[in-house]
Amino acid sequence: MGMSGLQSMLVPLETLPGWPAAPNPTPLHALLLLVGVPLVVILIIAGSSWLSSTHELKKYGPTVNPTTAFAGAPGVESATEEVPAGIEAKTTSDSGTGGTSARW
């Protein structure tokens, strides 16, 4: 058995003897295999990622926007005086709550 015979045993490029002849795949089948399957896998991964992110949003909630965090933002009265530059922080103790206030 020559080199070509060994190669054909390791990497059979043709139908083995005794086996039914394998039909050649059509271009549509090849396209489906090379493009369709990766596309489906990508869609599955993207879908699961999107679902997990929306679950996290539902769990913790988008609380940044005042219209969603609280019903009705209070009206704003326009500030007439210039806010001084720099940082001014103060601590307040009222109604049992803690925290601090600051202007910048």
Partner 1 sequence: MLGGEALSFGDRRQIDAALATAERVSGLSFQTYLGPAADQTRQHAIALHAKLTDPDGSVLVLCDPERRVLEIVTGQRVRTLLDDGACRLAVATMTSSFLAGDLVGGLINGIQQLGEAAYHPQMLHASGRL
Q: Are 90 and 99 in contact (CB under 8 A)?
A: no
Three-state secondary-structure class, residue 89: strand
Q: Which residues bind partner 1 (CB under 8 A)?
A: 56-57, 59-66, 69-70, 73-77, 79, 83, 87, 89, 91-104
| Residue that has been written with the tokens 């803690």 in this structure | 98
* C-beta closer to partner 1: residue 23 or 99: 99
Cβ proximity to partner 1: between 40 and 69 the closer is: 69
**Least distance to partner 1, CB of residue 33, Å:** 36
CB of 56 to partner 1, least distance (A): 6
Residue closer to partner 1 by CB (options 24, 95) is: 95
Residue 47 Cβ vs partner 1, minimum distance, rounded to whole Å: 18
How far does the chain reach from its first CA to its final CA, in angstroms? 87
Helix, coil or strand: residue 50: helix
How many whole angstroms separate alpha carbon 104 and alpha carbon 91? Answer: 15
